[in-house]
A and B are shown apart, each in its own frame.
Chain A
């Protein structure tokens, strides 16, 4: 029901999560000739996943290795939701509900308490799949994850729920992904940089709308003149 949303089709956060690099892949040749100097800019520090949480789990080194250090693209978006953190955490933690507000995600299947299988709409109508695992979880506060196995792109991310007085909860998503193809892939990711960010922003907006209003506003299917 919620996935019927028809808001303009932006770049996809699902891609950013696991399959962004596939989109990137397609355009790789196109940009091969261009300068890639400075493309690594976006890499910006390895502070991707809520660091404290990572340290609590003692996994930080693993993730850094997985991502080959502070490489790739770092995204950081937040929204404030007028609901308590535990309610938001509970909804988000049930990954199978994520396609309700992540527009380009088709399905998520929980494999066990830690691992899940994700399917997203990829470039050119193909679907993109990957497995992810939870690498950190603090109830009502934080969920951290990364891709595992043969994912086409190594990515990690976190969502943090912070209560703010009289305003509800700040929901902050941080993601880092390191696409294949080294410099070139990163260049493309950099060129597309603003779009994954806008995609996450729109997904977070839909999350807020579901949690606050119980539905996502739409005009899709309303009458109009010729």
Chain B
């Protein structure tokens, strides 16, 4: 089969590789019909997440058709059309039973690696470095799904791939980010970063009852999407002082919760952002947390900082004094996708949301290297790319 393979920082290729096989009794094999490139694929591609190896197959947002099931998998049948969560979970450990699916005890074969860095290991993830399990990803024509009797959700007829694909990650991720804000009547939510997760966080905040959502970015087409689709008010952080604007817009209170939908590769233009860039380039720091710093600084007293953006290592110059002085609450982590699949699918079926609004580019998987570059450099107003693994051309 063909797959998108990582060979080193910025070196992504489409290659022929062996087809996947059933390896464990609860597995399934999926023929991938649509897959997407995620912002965290960019972090992986850019070498920010440790323990990637040359030859790793990328991709954790994918869906398709079940073509084979393991002998202990009674939940799926050949021919089922499913969306697969990017988190892999056994469904039976303490964490799964508490709906903390992305913290599953039993799905990371390389748990010891994550333990050595983080103390304890989260769940395995598709195509997301060896520390996170080293599972082959879904930017491929076929993919093996472990514990496939737990994760994949069957899609009813009448919904297109593009409408449901983002249940795999970014829609639940944006939704969980908003849910973590404990939104009360009258709340104003600030969303830092208007990439795809930020866009879903904006919509989710309104769905959960936010009074106002203020979105912050510097890329014109992303701000435009936040206004047109998200109905958000926006701040361009290259043109305005974010803290002063947020303060002014909230009558001097500050936002009730701030969502950092940027993560470790922030592209700020402030002094600290340039310092971060220099330090990470020189391997003096692991992450560039300028969005997180802004979010902490801007948040109102007693507010919540919700972090769907990915961080990998040791963060520098976090204004912890501000967080402490204001009594902030932090909520974060990989998304517990399984918790949100069915409720969010119901929203899509009812027509309350059509997640395909974030898609700007549709390409055959053969064009993945070009697509990665375009997405990273935000060329051609690129916000979200979906790939077709079995197509020569996409119309």
Interface set of A (CB-CB < 8 Å, partner B)? 7, 80, 82, 167-168, 198, 201-202, 205, 208-209, 212-226
Distance of A118 Cα from B204 Cα, bound (Å): 58
Chain B residues whose CB sits within 8 angstroms of the CB of A213 once the complex forms: 26, 90-93, 106-107, 147
Which B residues contact A (CB, under 8 angstroms)?
1, 3, 5-7, 13, 15, 17-21, 23-26, 54-57, 72, 88, 90-94, 97, 105-112, 124, 133-136, 140, 144, 146-147
When the two chains form their complex, are residues B105 and A224 in contact, meaning their CB atoms are under 8 A apart?
Answer: no
Q: Which residues of A contact B140 (CB under 8 A)?
A: 223
Bound Cα distance A214, B147 (Å):
10
Q: Is the CB of B25 within 8 A of A215?
A: yes
* Cα–Cα distance between A221 and B19 once the two chains are bound (Å): 10
**Closest CB pairs A-B (n = 7):** A225-B5, A213-B90, A225-B55, A213-B106, A223-B17, A223-B18, A224-B55
Contact check, B135 vs A223: say whether CB atoms are below 8 A apart.
no
**A222/B106 contact (C-beta < 8 A), A167-B94, A168-B94 known:** no
Q: Report chain B residues within 8 Å CB of A225.
A: 3, 5-7, 13, 15, 17, 54-57
Name the distance in Å between B44's Cβ and chain A's nearest Cβ: 14
Given contacts A82-B94, A167-B94, contact A219 B133 (CB under 8 A): yes
- A214 and B134 contact, CB distance less than 8 A: no
List 15 additional A-B contacts (Cβ < 8 Å) besides A213-B26, A225-B54: A82-B92, A82-B94, A168-B94, A212-B90, A212-B93, A215-B25, A217-B109, A219-B134, A221-B21, A222-B23, A222-B135, A223-B3, A225-B7, A225-B56, A226-B55
Give the docked Cα–Cα distance between A219 and B110 (Å): 10
A202, A215, A221, A225 — most chain B CB neighbours (10 Å): A225
Closest to B140 in A: A223
What residues of B have a CB within 8 angstroms of the CB of A220 in the complex? 23
The residue in chain A whose Cβ has the minimal distance to the Cβ of B58 is: A225
Assuming the A-B contacts A223-B57, A225-B15, are A217 and B133 also in contact, with contact meaning beta carbons closer than 8 angstroms in the complex? yes
Give the distance in Å from the alpha carbon of A82 to the alpha carbon of B93 in the complex. Answer: 6
Give A7 to B88 CA distance when docked, in angstroms: 18
Cβ of A223 and Cβ of B108 under 8 Å apart?
A: no
User: Could you jot down 14 A-B contacts, CB within 8 Å?
Assistant: A82-B97, A167-B94, A214-B26, A217-B133, A218-B23, A219-B23, A219-B133, A219-B134, A219-B135, A220-B23, A221-B21, A223-B140, A225-B3, A225-B55
Give complex CA distance A226, B3 in Å.
Answer: 11
Interface-centre pick from A7, A205, A218, A222 (highest chain B CB count, 10 A): A222
Partner of B109, one of A7, A82, A208, A212: A7
A212 and B95 CA atoms in complex are apart in Å by 12
Is B146 touching A217 in the complex (CB atoms < 8 A)? yes
Taking the closest CB of chain A, its distance from the CB of B337, in whole angstroms, is 17
Could you tell me the distance between the alpha carbons of A201 and B116 in the complex, rounded to whole angstroms?
A: 13
Residues of B within 8 A of A215 (CB): 24-26, 72
Q: Which of A220, A221, A224 has the most CB of B within 10 A?
A: A224
Q: How far is the CA of A111 from the CA of B57 in the complex (A)?
A: 48
> B56, B93, B124: which contacts A224 (Cβ < 8 A)?
B56
Residues of A with C-beta under 8 A to B136:
219, 222-224
Among B18, B54, B109, B111, point to the contact of A219 (Cβ < 8 A): B109
> B15 — which chain A residues lie within 8 A by C-beta?
225-226
- Min C-beta distance of A7 to chain B, whole Å: 6
- What are the residues of chain A within 8 A of B5 when measuring CB–CB? 224-226
How far apart are the CA atoms of A167 and B72 in the complex, in Å? Answer: 26
**How far apart are B338's CB and chain A's nearest CB, in angstroms?**
15
| Complex CA distance for A217 and B24, rounded to whole angstroms | 8
The minimal Cβ–Cβ distance linking B380 to chain A, given in whole angstroms, is 27
Query: From B124, which residue of chain A is reached at the shortest CB distance?
Result: A217
Residues of the B chain whose Cβ atoms lie less than 8 Å from the Cβ of A224: 5, 17, 55-57, 136
